[in-house]
Structure 1
Amino acid sequence: MSTVDAPSQARPEVGASVEARGITTNYLEAGTGRPVVLVHGSGPGVSAYANWRLTMPALSERLRVLAPDMVGFGFTARPAGVRYELRTWADQLLGFLDALGLERASIVGNSFGGAIALDVATRHPDRVDRLVLMGSVGVPFPITEGLDTVWGYEPSPAAMRQVLDFFAWSRDLVDDELAEVRYRASIQPGFQEAFGSMFPAPRQRWVDAMVTPDEAIAALPHETLLVHGREDRVIPLATSLRLLELVPRAQLHVFGRCGHWSQIEHASTFNRLLLDFLTQE
């Protein structure tokens, strides 16, 4: 296992790195205790830091929190010829656990990250302690205008503003300054080249490619927390309602006045909810 320096204030999104199934994976770490791995979503310019910057400090008070950049995103290497598909990301996550010597960890999957978490939990249930799926992909649904816009992003401040408008319910969270910051994040070297190749139109096929079969989901043995924003225009609430029907040991928390950013729009309540769930005996 190889590591680099811990994140600096100048570049908090760059942390340590490990080799995870041949992919040099950038990750952030904080806290001690039972391990939990946070798997980010698939927005343009996203990174573990962008997704989890408000979550990690709260969870790290009682847990060892690890947040990797999945291949194609953030500051993880983008090997030539890599196939951006569910099995690649799931194998990277398993390799990440192996590289850190973690036989078992709780996994929190956000959106696209939920599909990765579901795949790992169903194929390798012994590697997962507790499972949290937030606005999760992984069951069939007709692609929304919001998700089609997110995956079809072509870099410009205006296009990023449109993406952010779909993500957030609260207009207080979305302004031109944020759009400019996120736009600049999306055009760092290699970022858009990878992102633009992941989900070409027609994009319904990529939703379908991330589906875990119902029978596999219904066999999950894990305590599972489902979280969704009632006004989510990217991943419909119906996906979490379907998961609630399928997962035997599931509970669902729905945030009203909330879009696809429950961990940002309701950060304090979200953090308490996760911490209580993940630390239960």
Structure 2
Amino acid sequence: MATTAAPASGPGPDVHPGTERRWLRRALAALGGLLAVLSVSALVIAYAWQPSATAYASPYLARIDSRYADTLLARFHYTKTGHGSPVVLVAGGGQWLYSYRDTVPALAADHTVYAVDLPGQGYTTLKKDGFSYDLDAMAGALGTFMDAVGLRTTSVVGHSWGGSWSLYFAERYPERVDRLVLMGSTGLNVPSGWDWRPLEFPVVGEVMGKLMRKSDAARVLRKAFANPERVTDEVVAEDWAPMSRPANREALWASQRNIDYTVTQRLMGKVTAATLVLWGGEDRFDEPWQAAAMAKRIPGAASRVLPGCGHNVHEDCPAVANPVVAEFLDGA
């Protein structure tokens, strides 16, 4: 009885092992080429290409009395409003003095209010290369501005990153700060959120910062508010225009990499200024428990958490937050 042989395993009559190997080599070569192109493109974007700043006729700049203080370090953009004891307002990272548009008039009745753009913010321009955006550099810049406008001692209000710069200034130069308000302020040695953490990595941070679009900035800004109706198209445009400047983009990743919160936390006991730590109860960047934790480390500090307010507590809830700040600065 005849038997039929089983078909041989392996490739069919038209497929040869050599063909499979050639296909695999070509696929790997194509993948390697693609990765090389992407790597070179990322390096070019990170270290050679510069995005263009967005042209924007700011209605806010048209309304305010912009001033400039020229120093060897920078040409500081600022406003000076009101009469009385001085208060310096320091905006958060990626923002500028526009964020205090509601705070300035709330304080100006009893204080001379200086709202300033520090390096990397708004319309201030550095005169030197290699600015590090670390705590010493930013606190030094704040001191340089104060010297330029004739302030020896002042109250200081700082928000977010601006809070940590203000805090460190009060830690290093306690004789220059009589009252300190920290709003949604960084300063405790806790991990950053994932909105900012990618900026810490070389190449990745530069690419992320340079390719950031207005829509990306708007998304981050909306997360800072618990009341989304306050983030109007004008608010987004006013924030984005200076943020789109190459130097201000660079300040984002440089600040994220160079600010050392082990230092600010360790030195909190050195603060001698009367201090208020103010937080939004719906802060989605920095959790509200940090208000009490920070105040506990600063001698004599008080903390307050405002329900229904986000990270940008003074912008999100101006009718509630600004009277609290004013009352504290008045010494009540």
Task: State the TM-score, normalized to the length of structure 1.
Answer: 0.85
Q: How does 1:168-207 map to 2 (within 5 A)?
A: 168-174=225-231, 178-187=235-244, 191=245, 193-200=246-253, 203=256, 205-206=257-258
The answer on 1:160 being equivalent to 2:217 is yes
Corresponding residue number in structure 1 for 2:27? none
Corresponding residue number in structure 1 for 2:74? 23
**Retained in 2: the 8 A contact 1:130–1:223?**
yes
Which whole-Å CA distance do the structure 2 matches of 1:27 and 1:184 have between them?
17
CA shift, 1:36, in A, is 0.5
The structure that has the greater radius of gyration is 2
Shift in alpha-carbon separation, 1:122–1:20, aligned structure 2, 3 A = farther
Residue 70 of structure 1 aligns with an amino acid whose one-letter code is L
Q: 2:92 aligns with which of 23, 29, 41?
A: 41
Higher helix proportion: 2
Q: 2:102 aligns with which of 33, 54, 58?
A: 54
Deviations 1:227-259 (A, max 9, x none): 011111122223323212101211111011111
Shift in alpha-carbon separation, 1:159–1:32, aligned structure 2, 3 A = same
Corresponding residue number in structure 2 for 1:11? 62
CA shift, 1:182, in A, is 3.6
Corresponding residue number in structure 2 for 1:264? 315
Shift in alpha-carbon separation, 1:197–1:60, aligned structure 2, 3 A = same
Deviations 1:100-143 (A, max 9, x none): 22221000011111111111111110000101001111111111
Residue 238 of structure 1 aligns with an amino acid whose one-letter code is W
Deviations 1:64-116 (A, max 9, x none): 10011101211111234122222111111111121222221000011111111
The answer on 1:64 being equivalent to 2:112 is yes
CA shift, 1:215, in A, is 4.2
CA shift, 1:21, in A, is 5.3
Identity of aligned residues (%): 28
Residue 97 of structure 1 aligns with an amino acid whose one-letter code is M
| Matched length | 266
Q: 1:106 aligns with which of 149, 155, 159?
A: 155
Alignment RMSD (CA, Å): 2.7
CA shift, 1:174, in A, is 3.1
Which runs of 5 or more residues in structure 1 are unaligned?
Answer: 1-6
Which runs of 5 or more residues in structure 2 are unaligned?
Answer: 1-57, 200-204
Corresponding residue number in structure 2 for 1:145? 194
Which whole-Å CA distance do the structure 2 matches of 1:65 and 1:15 have between them?
13
The answer on 1:125 being equivalent to 2:174 is yes
Deviations 1:120-173 (A, max 9, x none): 111110000101001111111111134448985543232122112211112222
**Retained in 1: the 8 A contact 2:184–2:280?**
yes
SS of the aligned residue for 2:267 comes to: helix
